[in-house]
Structure 1
């Protein structure tokens, strides 16, 4: 057997072993979920897999359909395995931090949509993607700062914005996110920055679900003339649903969440290093 043949055989064995390990993790999840009478799970599959810095260990994100309290849901769960055992979590013994935060998908090119560009040059090498809730207090300060930074370096960086309203915290953010998207047609990229500079709590509580109150405030502050029926147009509703789904695929759980050249930045400060002083 020549060297090339040996390499191919070893590669095939390794691939088969890894695939078998994947199946073991899926089987474990099936058995684990079946023990919970309140959850009916189906279509369990590996959504994402990442080799960890811990030798021999992989992090898995599993995707499945579930019925919980008569509600149909799409669920993602994280597990860890070395091919011999499966663990629901792993911790760094030095920092006591869970390794779950390291098992996250990276940005792909589909997130660099021209319609989501709010600052900079779409042909730039360095790309930033932000998922944000327009009523998140930190976001309201952070997003304008990033926009300002990119605008000052517009030839070298592209900044893409995705709405990710945290409806369970700020119900009004869903309507506000729709309005920002609609306003882009008239105001262009500047609609996002203008909306983030407004103190919306002068006009309504973040807990409100009164679309008319939110709409009147938005039209007044941004000098637009959006109608209440515009909020329920199919393309507007679908656009926001797609943005949220793209965030869900990346396991975005809070805002702001920022990615620098495809990788999540938990520090939220790395964008400043894109331009060397």
Structure 2
């Protein structure tokens, strides 16, 4: 689940997020940027937690994000936080077309609907359940819940 930073970094951040969650869109890109720019200080571990009742489009988006990350295209995960799409959209073809148009990332429906992707997202949901995570974004800094979601800022250079 390491997204950005170095696994041996001094500080570990664990984030449960949904790319369509307005609060996530405010917070998570900054966390990603900090981990990218401070890899010796911050290791960012990212878990998908799509809130499907609120924004069903996130189900497909998180599948796309998982595939992109497994292909080493970690910046695609970041780009999903700026994607403009109807949060209620459920048509996979329309979602894939919007992602391609706005990000340039071309992916097939078969790839995102694979058993591997389904199992990975189920594992993320189970991890959230074990940790009693019910909302997004949920952030842990060095094993402690960061209610304000800004604890990482003390590890970066201004």
TM-score (norm 2): 0.92
Query: Distance between the aligned counterparts of 1:150 and 1:162, measured in 2?
Result: 15
Which deviates more, 172-181 or 215-224? 215-224
SS in 1 for 2:140: strand
SS in 2 for 1:130: strand
Distance 1:276 1:195, change over 3 A: closer
Query: Distance between the aligned counterparts of 2:71 and 2:100, measured in 1?
Result: 12
Superposed, which structure 2 residues align to 1:238-253 within 5 Å? 238-253=119-134
Q: 2:68·2:74 contact (CA, 8 Å) conserved in 1?
A: no
| RMSD between aligned residues | 1.6
Distance 1:223 1:186, change over 3 A: farther
- Residues 50-82 of structure 1 deviation map (CA, whole Å, 9 limit, x = unaligned): xxxxxxxxxxxxxxxxxxxxxxxxxxxxxxxxx
Query: Distance between the aligned counterparts of 1:259 and 1:243, measured in 2?
Result: 15
1:184 Cα deviation (Å)? 2.0
1:214 Cα deviation (Å)? 0.7
SS in 2 for 1:144: helix
TM-score (norm 1): 0.54
**Residue 263 in 1 paired to residue 137 in 2?**
no
Larger Cα Rg: Structure 1 or Structure 2? 1
Unpaired runs of 5+ residues, structure 2, are none
Of Structure 1 and Structure 2, the greater helix share is in 2
Query: Distance between the aligned counterparts of 1:184 and 1:210, measured in 2?
Result: 22
Query: Distance between the aligned counterparts of 2:113 and 2:78, measured in 1?
Result: 23
Which deviates more, 232-241 or 189-198? 189-198
Unpaired runs of 5+ residues, structure 1, are 1-115
Which structure carries more relative contact order (alpha carbon 8 Å, separation 6+)?
A: 2
Pairs aligned (count): 158
